[in-house]
Structure 1
Amino acid sequence: MASISSIGAGSGLFTNDLLNQLVQVERAPTEARLNRREAETQAKISAFGMIRSALEALKTPMEALSQPDSMRSYTSSSSNESVVGVSVDSSTANRGSYTVDVQQLAQAQSLASAAFADRDTTALGSGTLSLTVGGVTTDIEIDGSNNTLQGVADAINDANAGVSAGVVDTGDGYRLVLSSDSSGTANEMSISVSDDDGNNTDSGGLSQFVFDGTTSNMEQTVAAKDAILDINGIQVTRSTNTIENVVDGVTFDVLATGVSTVKVTQDEEAVVQKVQDFVDKFNALQDQIKKVAGYNAETETGGLLNGDSTIRAIQSDLRQQLTKIPAGLEDSPIRMLADIGITTDPASGKLEFDQSVFKEKLGENPEAMTALFAESEQGGGIAAQMVASAERFLGSDGLLANRTEGLGEALQEIEDQRFELDDRIAAFEKRLIQQFSAADQLIAQIQSTGNFVQQQLAALAPQPRSNG
């Protein structure tokens, strides 16, 4: 706001305070209107953001229920966890009970060389060391740069031959120790050499590391073994102690010899919790919609988004999905959510969940329950269709994005109008200053003329006579 110190100097009538007041009176109505529009627009953007967050939160449990294995949740137990541990994959597992008799654990083979006086000075010969593990042979060159005990160990480790090498100080000398990286008889080691001394089987040079089934110049300290166990009387052999692909969806981790009873049972509570999450998030969305778009009959006031077409579309679309009968379930005893204990309160629009009814139906017909929620050959279940609906609203070109983008454009328009207001007020202020200055000059001229006339009249007035 301009401040011209000469305003009112002649008359004392047109002051800066008066100028500022007139400018503020001119600005105030438009500025108040723009402030109201901006506050309302910002509030609507925030309200749509809350609706978006609630809808995204609802989408997560809907996605879980839309999966083909959504109703297939299983838990497992072992009567003797020190012998057998167990885990399940609910997508392929089924209920069952298994007696597991572990007769032998799998173990990896270990070999040890003869003792040497030192680990990094004595030359052990040169040539090619060939390691065969699991049918794969790896050739390792040994020469003057690595022909010590430690050098051979390092060369084996660098070769990634399926064997780990180390040097052990026994107190009476140093021994090269080799261990197969994988357990089981299929991963037994075979070691042959091409010794530069011309003899590939004696105890000199590289030949002292031969272990090929015929010549055993290294000592087998641990024999390779397979895991052997009986599952319900059927013998199973595996190279590892993690037993997979014997019972669908079940993994046995054998830890010791002995017997344990393993049970796989349906985890009803886990399935119920998935559905409860869906109900809770759906009801939370209804609460959010009521907060921003509801109508209070007592105060006769509506929420900020009351009557908004986007909010109505979200409510209408989701409610329609709740009452649909998915394709293929027209003649099924389970056709809609109400059949499994999920009903809608007409007063609030919220869902009510009777878990006891749900558990009963889940036990009677898990396949129909899955088809009710998930994608199937006949078409999409309720959860799958609700996910698709949510994605339409939440997408970059969805209704929520379009509404928020439109409100953002409205904010930019308000900002543009503020610039226009500043320009108009500046021009108005300039005109006032010009008008005040002209009026002040006119008043000053009138005052000057008045003073001159008074002086002339005073000069013409009779002068009092002197008595002398």
Structure 2
Amino acid sequence: MATISSVGVGSNLDLSSLLTQLETAESQPLTALETKAKSYTSKLSAYGTVQSALESLQSAAQKLGDPALFQAVTGTPTVSGILAASSTDPSSAGTYNITVSQLAQAQSVIAAGQASTTTAIGNGTVTIDFGTISGGTLDGATGKYSGASFTADASREAKTITITDGNNTLAGIRDAINAAGAGVTASIVNDGSGTPNRLVLTSTTTGEASSMRISVDGDAALQNLLGNDPAGTQNLKQTIAAQNAKLDVNGIAITSASNTVKEAIQGTTLTLVQTGTTGLSMKANTTAVTSAINDFVKAYNSLQSTAKSLTTYDADTNTAAALVGDSTLRSIQTRLRQALTAPQAGDTTDMKVLSEIGVSFQKDGTLAVDSTKLSKALDTDLAGVSGLFASATGSTAGYGKQIDALVEDLTKSGGSLTVASEGVTSTIKDLDEQYDAMQARIDATMERYRTQFTQLDVLISSMNNTMTYLTQQFEAMNATNSSN
């Protein structure tokens, strides 16, 4: 049987164009499915946009739902550089006069100089404990005590470090002390002398109860290097004495082992920087609260703006946004507004609605903030504003906690937004499957058409060849008869 390399060539008919027209006609249902799938994809994307806006609102609500936001107190010193202050207790608000007469510091001692850091010194065990040096006198030149006593700190356990052939050099002793976690840091300083390498030991903790006592059991050279008892033999020179911080707050003397002083003022942490006298004004941090409330309003209004853009209809172009008439979005908006307009429980003197702090709904459904009214509410009744948004652990009161819980309910597994999104996703999957099935049917139909057209092409081509042959024969016969 004759073969056709391109349909229509054998018959000289435009069968290729006819096949294309047939395929276009057969594919019309696919176009409808594509349009439908595109619509649902746009809807799914729109739900994602709504969820993002809800998450922003939830984040703002969580911040307002945390009681700590309303408890922050900011300390402002009148003289900079002496101290910093922060508090989480509103009762600390007030003015204070503070004099820092002494900063806490850690003890530091140095050993006699060594010619080399890699020469073996001696073996043994080094035991370090901490306590308080009292009484006696300190020679400023030698850095050693006479007539002093040492009282060990019973709350801190002594640490023993073993020095052997593997670590009995100055560098090895340094590394062994640092690796022991004994509450001491060791370093080597070169003083430029004939025996320049000096081991420096510094307590990692400030305060007078962190003075070091070091006992050595072993070779004499190791004892002579490190043995140091403030109440006895001292082979180390003290360069910095352990001491407590001393300060006066409104005439009350206070000592602290650390320069971070807690509870000298109730709920307050003072960070001492240098000695001196300063006033300190402690005021509730209403700026942070104002910012959080404004952020919440912005997040809510952004959600409303998002909802509006997703539900518009353009009459001029007859174009509808992805969620026009969508019941899920409408339900979300209704539930949020109901939650924000429902009064909070409480006594008759408690704040119950947002309008009491200057936050109110507008005609377009958005929220607006009266900054003057909000500022007054924060200055006169910060606790009331706190109760309006936040509550103690375990309680569900407060708009912050309630909006947080509502958004969680909407977006969790089984929540209305999640269910709606999953429904659209399922529909898109079904449409994809329908599209694939229909495409397969169209491909099969077109293959059948193509086979039939090819057969037709071959048949007509054969008939044309036969006609040509017969015509030639008849012409030849006529030519022979004419010559006779």
Structure 1 residue 136, shift from structure 2 partner = 2.2
Structure 1 residue 442, shift from structure 2 partner = 7.2
Q: Which moved more, 1:11-20 or 1:254-263?
A: 11-20
Q: Establish whether residue 169 from structure 1 lines up as the match of residue 187 from structure 2.
A: no
Q: For the residues of structure 1 that align with 2:26 and 2:225, how far apart are their CA atoms? A: 105
Contact 1:73 1:271 in 2 (8 A): no
Deviation string 1:47-77 (CA, Å, 9 cap, x unpaired) is: 1111111111111111101112333343221
Q: Which moved more, 1:13-22 or 1:88-97?
A: 88-97
Secondary structure of 2:310's aligned partner: helix
Q: For the residues of structure 1 that align with 2:463 and 2:116, how far apart are their CA atoms? A: 120
The corresponding residue for 1:372 is: 388
Q: For the residues of structure 2 that align with 1:417 and 1:93, how far apart are their CA atoms? A: 68
Structure 1 residue 241, shift from structure 2 partner = 1.4
The corresponding residue for 1:18 is: 18
Q: Establish whether residue 336 from structure 1 lines up as the match of residue 353 from structure 2.
A: yes
Q: Establish whether residue 287 from structure 1 lines up as the match of residue 305 from structure 2.
A: yes
User: Does the C-alpha gap of structure 1 residues 196 and 451 become closer, same or farther in structure 2, counting only changes over 3 Å?
Assistant: closer
Contact 2:310 2:323 in 1 (8 A): yes
Structure 1 residue 79, shift from structure 2 partner = 1.6
User: Does the C-alpha gap of structure 1 residues 449 and 129 become closer, same or farther in structure 2, counting only changes over 3 Å?
Assistant: closer
CA RMSD in angstroms comes to 3.2
Which of 125, 131, 135 aligns to 2:128? It is 131
Deviation string 1:31-59 (CA, Å, 9 cap, x unpaired) is: 22012112211111111111111111111
What number of residue pairs does the alignment pair up?
451
Q: For the residues of structure 1 that align with 2:329 and 2:308, how far apart are their CA atoms? A: 10
The corresponding residue for 1:57 is: 56
The code of the aligned residue for 1:371 comes to: G
The corresponding residue for 1:201 is: none
The code of the aligned residue for 1:315 comes to: Q
Q: Which runs of 5+ in 1 are unaligned?
A: 198-203
Q: For the residues of structure 1 that align with 2:259 and 2:207, how far apart are their CA atoms? A: 9
The corresponding residue for 2:264 is: 246
Which of 373, 381, 387 aligns to 2:398? It is 381
User: Does the C-alpha gap of structure 1 residues 219 and 6 become closer, same or farther in structure 2, counting only changes over 3 Å?
Assistant: closer
Q: For the residues of structure 2 that align with 1:269 and 1:9, how far apart are their CA atoms? A: 84
User: Does the C-alpha gap of structure 1 residues 459 and 344 become closer, same or farther in structure 2, counting only changes over 3 Å?
Assistant: same
Q: For the residues of structure 2 that align with 1:151 and 1:446, how far apart are their CA atoms? A: 106
Deviation string 1:309-348 (CA, Å, 9 cap, x unpaired) is: 110111011000111112225x2352111222111112x1
User: Does the C-alpha gap of structure 1 residues 374 and 4 become closer, same or farther in structure 2, counting only changes over 3 Å?
Assistant: farther
The corresponding residue for 2:70 is: 71
The corresponding residue for 1:178 is: 201
* TM-score, with structure 2 as normaliser: 0.83
User: Does the C-alpha gap of structure 1 residues 4 and 23 become closer, same or farther in structure 2, counting only changes over 3 Å?
Assistant: farther
Q: For the residues of structure 1 that align with 2:323 and 2:471, how far apart are their CA atoms? A: 73
User: Does the C-alpha gap of structure 1 residues 113 and 454 become closer, same or farther in structure 2, counting only changes over 3 Å?
Assistant: closer
The code of the aligned residue for 1:79 comes to: T
Q: For the residues of structure 1 that align with 2:127 and 2:263, how far apart are their CA atoms? A: 34
Structure 1 residue 94, shift from structure 2 partner = 3.1
The corresponding residue for 1:358 is: 374
User: Does the C-alpha gap of structure 1 residues 288 and 459 become closer, same or farther in structure 2, counting only changes over 3 Å?
Assistant: same
Q: Which moved more, 1:168-177 or 1:72-81?
A: 168-177
The corresponding residue for 2:415 is: 398
Question: Counterparts of 1:59-458 in structure 2 under 5 Å?
Answer: 59-86=58-85, 88-90=86-88, 94-121=92-119, 123=121, 125-133=122-130, 134=153, 135-170=156-191, 171-173=193-195, 174-196=197-219, 206-207=223-224, 209-212=226-229, 213-295=231-313, 302-329=320-347, 331-332=348-349, 334-346=351-363, 348-376=364-392, 379-436=396-453, 441=459
Q: Which runs of 5+ in 2 are unaligned?
A: 131-152
Contact 2:216 2:222 in 1 (8 A): no
Contact 1:109 1:183 in 2 (8 A): yes
Structure 1 residue 454, shift from structure 2 partner = 12
Q: For the residues of structure 1 that align with 2:237 and 2:463, how far apart are their CA atoms? A: 127
Structure 1 residue 390, shift from structure 2 partner = 0.6
User: Does the C-alpha gap of structure 1 residues 176 and 431 become closer, same or farther in structure 2, counting only changes over 3 Å?
Assistant: closer
Structure 1 residue 104, shift from structure 2 partner = 1.2
Q: Which moved more, 1:404-413 or 1:90-99?
A: 90-99
Report % sequence identity. Answer: 33
User: Does the C-alpha gap of structure 1 residues 144 and 415 become closer, same or farther in structure 2, counting only changes over 3 Å?
Assistant: closer
Contact 2:189 2:199 in 1 (8 A): yes
Structure 1 residue 405, shift from structure 2 partner = 2.0
The corresponding residue for 1:40 is: 39
Q: Which moved more, 1:167-176 or 1:4-13?
A: 4-13
The code of the aligned residue for 2:373 comes to: V
The code of the aligned residue for 1:232 comes to: N
Secondary structure of 2:349's aligned partner: coil
Q: For the residues of structure 2 that align with 1:180 and 1:309, how far apart are their CA atoms? A: 68
* TM-score, with structure 1 as normaliser: 0.86
Deviation string 1:373-423 (CA, Å, 9 cap, x unpaired) is: 113476421121111111112223322222222222222222222222222
Q: For the residues of structure 2 that align with 1:336 and 1:81, how far apart are their CA atoms? A: 41
Structure 1 residue 456, shift from structure 2 partner = 8.7
Contact 1:111 1:177 in 2 (8 A): yes
Q: For the residues of structure 2 that align with 1:359 and 1:367, how far apart are their CA atoms? A: 13
